[in-house]
Structure 1
Amino acid sequence: MGADGKRKIAPSGDHVILHDSSFFRRHPTAQLPTPAQVLARCKALGDHPIAPRPRPVRFPALGLLVKFGTAASIVEGQCLYALQGRTVLRVPEVYGWTVENGRAFVYVELIRGVTLQDRWEWLSEKSKTVVCMQIKDMVDDLRQIEEDPMNSYVGAIGNQPPEEILFHSYMTPARSFHSVAEFHDWFALPAPMPPGIQVHPGRFDLPDDASIVFTHGDLHPSNIMISARWPWDRWEWSWAWNIWPWDWPDWISWLWKGEWSWEDPPRVLAIIDWQQSGWMPSYWEYCKARWTTKRGSDWQTTYFPMFIEPTDVLEAWLVFAYIVAF
């Protein structure tokens, strides 16, 4: 899964520090913050560290972001490790992960930019199109990753159960699935059925011959990082003040390093939040993107179909998605 086309095997342990990552080359004497330090910083920022999915904690001076919580998963770290080195796709570099007291802590590169969601309404139609074409190049690169034909399955990286958040509100699968058909049987199982009918009629609208592709699972504008403009540009001062709770030395460092841009259209810096990623049926990416976006928005109707091919499975998928999610 690296740039040379070979699969990178992610470490499987619960406590992994990637000493060969750029973090330790930049900071040879530094250590990754301990879980206790992460929780303390979370409290200092006014957040609630006992929440299942607290807001990630930033360490700007180290170029570090820590995702953590009981709902976090080291699967995201393993996925980012495996995706490092792609020629087009850009993801945050992962520096390590650990598990303590039921909480996972994933240490990743801090992408210094803004989310596409934060800047979307200010972009021209031309800029929106150019950004989506950049995303398309990255999604196309993601689709170049081929599953091992000797170990085909539906699930998270490393033959683990899918981390799809839809399943968490109803039932979490305890394992991966050997085939798309087996996955569909499980996905359709919670649907209520009339007496005497053992299989929901909609089950037959889920295509068992769908190919299995590596899928992000949540290609929402909030998970796409783009280059930031000058922070005092008419609207971004309020964004910067509220979203980046840094002190002035951090701001000076950000400006001095040139981590901002006058570019219009902006550059796509990275796709983030890979916890729900894995090997899924080929229609899943489009269906999930439709599920998570505002109905009738220009993002849903015009722009994300530019980089995710629409599918006629959507209506059948929605039947079961609503059942398992609610």
Structure 2
Amino acid sequence: MYRTKDKLYIVMEYIPGTTLGHLWPSLPENDKTSLLGQLRSIFADMRSLPSPGFYGSVTQGPVPHRYFFSQEGNPAITGPFTEEEDFSKAIALRSSQIWSDRGRHGWTSDFLARHLPSALSGHQPTFTHGDLYRENILVKKAKDSTSGVEEYSIAAIIDWETAGWYPSYWEYAYIFPLFQWVDDWPESVERIIDPWPLEAALLRFVQEDLEF
């Protein structure tokens, strides 16, 4: 990205590949195992980046996720946050804001305010992609330089708009409510990143409150 006097340019690179979502139903188990291993290594490297001591965007700005949106730019909702407690309180405040905009009292907001900060605690800021869909993973097939056998490899991970520093549970717990449960993908995600089932259950409740 660069700017001239009156224009902002974003330089993008085209990376050929097929989405993992398209390939997944037809992949044999050995190819799935290989790709999941590659993804686990990639995400482990990302998650091992040193914590910056805050929850927010990579530029130490507001949390880049719609759960932390505030029309008025209220920093108690948008962040960034130095404490996980404030990160959790922000979700409750966002819920209250949504219900207020509908002209109703947010009883679920009250529940979140009472319990979310204590239920979601002890999670360090962790670099998070934030949108672990199969459709955001590009895969390519090429011959191994040593064996000459064609193998699948990860070409790229795309859609980084919500990436940032989140509590360590977020990568798994946020995607959990979006699983379709029609194949082995939910189980396979546990081979990419460690599961956070309790946090995931709470995030499912949050999603139902904020998005329905």
Class of the TM-score when normalised by the shorter of the 2 chains: 0.7 to 0.9
- Are the aligned partners of 1:205 and 1:313 in contact in 2 as well (CA < 8 Å)? no
Query: Structure 1's 106 and 167: CA in aligned 2 closer, same or farther, altered over 3 A?
Result: farther
Equivalent residue for 2:25, pick from 107, 113, 121: 121
Counterpart mapping for 1:108-147 below 5 A = 108-147=12-51
Give deviations 1:93-150, integer Å, cap 9, x for gaps: xxxxx64xxxxx63222111111112111201221121111000000111121123xx
| Paired-residue identity, % | 25
| Equivalent in the alignment of 1:323 | 209
Query: Structure 1's 263 and 199: CA in aligned 2 closer, same or farther, altered over 3 A?
Result: closer
Compute the RMSD of aligned alpha carbons.
3.0
What's the offset of the Cα at 1:206? 3.2
Query: Structure 1's 225 and 213: CA in aligned 2 closer, same or farther, altered over 3 A?
Result: same
- Are the aligned partners of 1:213 and 1:279 in contact in 2 as well (CA < 8 Å)? yes
- Are the aligned partners of 2:125 and 2:166 in contact in 1 as well (CA < 8 Å)? yes
- Are the aligned partners of 1:171 and 1:324 in contact in 2 as well (CA < 8 Å)? no
RCO greater where, 1 or 2, for CA within 8 Å and sep 6 or more?
Answer: 2
In structure 1, stretches of 5+ residues that fail to align are 1-13, 18-97, 100-104, 230-260
Based on CA coordinates, which of the two structures has the bigger radius of gyration?
1
1:193 aligns with 2:107: yes
Equivalent residue for 1:184, pick from 67, 88, 110: 88
Q: 2:61 is matched by which residue type in structure 1?
A: Q
Paired with 2:72 and 2:183, the residues of 1 have a C-alpha distance of 31
The structure where helix makes up a greater share of residues is 2
Q: 2:55 is matched by which residue type in structure 1?
A: V
- Are the aligned partners of 1:212 and 1:281 in contact in 2 as well (CA < 8 Å)? yes
- Are the aligned partners of 2:132 and 2:171 in contact in 1 as well (CA < 8 Å)? yes
Q: Give the TM-score, by structure 2 length.
A: 0.77
Q: 2:158 is matched by which residue type in structure 1?
A: I
Give deviations 1:152-200, integer Å, cap 9, x for gaps: 2111111111212445599974431121111101112225238xx6864
Secondary structure of 2:127 counterpart: strand
In structure 2, stretches of 5+ residues that fail to align are 97-105, 143-147
- Are the aligned partners of 2:138 and 2:156 in contact in 1 as well (CA < 8 Å)? yes
Counterpart mapping for 1:231-270 below 5 A = 263-264=150-151, 266-270=152-156
Secondary structure of 2:177 counterpart: helix
Paired with 1:204 and 1:138, the residues of 2 have a C-alpha distance of 30
Secondary structure of 2:185 counterpart: helix
Paired with 1:319 and 1:171, the residues of 2 have a C-alpha distance of 25
| Equivalent in the alignment of 1:304 | 189
Q: 1:263 is matched by which residue type in structure 2?
A: E
Equivalent residue for 2:157, pick from 261, 271, 274: 271
1:161 aligns with 2:74: no
Counterpart mapping for 1:219-230 below 5 A = 219-228=132-141
Paired with 1:137 and 1:199, the residues of 2 have a C-alpha distance of 34
Paired with 1:270 and 1:125, the residues of 2 have a C-alpha distance of 21
| Equivalent in the alignment of 2:102 | none
Q: 1:220 is matched by which residue type in structure 2?
A: Y
Equivalent residue for 2:169, pick from 266, 283, 296: 283
Query: Structure 1's 198 and 142: CA in aligned 2 closer, same or farther, altered over 3 A?
Result: closer
